[in-house]
Amino acid sequence: MITAGSLSVVSNQKNVCVIVYSIFLFSNFADAGGFDSLLQQLPELGVFRKIFDSRIELNVMDYGAKGNGIEDDTKVFADVWDMACSSKVESRIIIPDGSYCLVKPISLGGHCHSKVTLVPCRHAPTAITFHRCNNLVVKNLMIVNGQQMQMAFTTCDTVAVSHVSVFSPASSPNTDGIHISESTNVEIKDTTVRTGDDCISIVSNSSKVQVRRIVCGPGHGISIGSLGKSDTCDQVYDVSVQGAFLSNTENGLRIKTWQGGSGFVRNVTFEDVWMQNVSHPIIIDQYYCDSDKPCPNKTSAVNVENISFVNIGGTSATMEAIVFACSDVSPCEGVYLEDVEIVSAFGGVTTSFCWQVNGSTAGYVYPPICYSTCKSFIKQTISSATNLQAI
């Protein structure tokens, strides 16, 4: 929930002119040391809560948002976003506490001239897509929607997401909680996702993604992919998931690729994850087929290599707790398991399934892994350099 409703251009035209003028003055006098005196001379601007140290704060209520959860605020939010994105200085979009902003599915695009931080009200029933955004911060957001992807980042660079809650019914299809596509330097932390599809999905040419302290369930778990559909070339690399709790999900930690694709999934670490009643806790599937008809066998595949599962525990809702179904023409290489214990949620035994996979283990691993291990394999490490600014 978040827009401009019935806001007219005429009603805000004067304020917009003042904003542009103020920024122009700042850009010309700040370097000359006259900014402090200039700031004292500025009039009170209703559209700004604060102007300080080269940062502006834009309150959507000042632009006509109703914030009552009934009237549509989508246009207002889009207008304020455009203003923040075009600003030459850092901007914060504010939706005050106690507001219930109704925003319909919306796409917010870049490239923005400077860093934009979205600090919305706690209740925002909508689906939001950020496209071509750089230096974006999103925090303290609740999204409630049962129709489509909840929050998506496409072609973005340097994104920090924290303290976000996403809710949609367990029965709702194609409602990925947070979707990352063609983006790099993305951090997601301290977030809860309850949905009918992937809690977090990382696809098509994304890299340097860090996921920290995530609660997921219900849903389809944390997924890389699907990749390689319709014989496309996809690359995903340098992904780190550390600290997650998954409950009553269809999958836990999953990599899924289509036959016929090309490219690679490389340098991925899943670490410190606890699962409760998860149907397929650990799964690599290079035969993914999301179709009513059987998918044809093909002779190419997206390569999967250097994948680590470290300190993973919990309960499985099925007997087969670990599945590595890899390609005949491009086997999975460098799969590493350390201190993994996944037992049955119903008191029985759990098993593993392996096909065309090579790797190694360390510490206690249960269920016993079914591939032959290579003692010379050295655990891969993931670079944590994401160039993210502190939130």
197 is catalytic: yes
Q: What does the alpha-carbon distance between residue 22 and residue 41 come to, in Å, rounded to a whole number?
A: 11
Q: What does the alpha-carbon distance between residue 24 and residue 51 come to, in Å, rounded to a whole number?
A: 14
Residue 222, both tokens: 């944390």
* Active-site residue, from 72, 79, 123, 220: 220
In order, the DSSP letters of 130-186 are: EES-EEEEEEEEEEE-SSS-SEEEES-EEEEEEEEEEE--TT-TT--SEEEES-EEE
In order, the DSSP letters of 301-325 are: --EEEEEEEEEEEEEESSSEEEEEE
- CA distances, 368 to each of 332, 341, 364 (Å): 18, 9, 9
Residue 212 burial by Cβ neighbours in a 10 Å radius (0-12, 13-18, 19+): middle
Residue 215, both tokens: 């609660």
Give residue 299's identity as a one-letter amino acid code.
T
Q: What does the alpha-carbon distance between residue 36 and residue 371 come to, in Å, rounded to a whole number?
A: 67
* Active-site residue, from 72, 197, 234, 285: 197
Q: Which residues are catalytic?
A: 197, 220
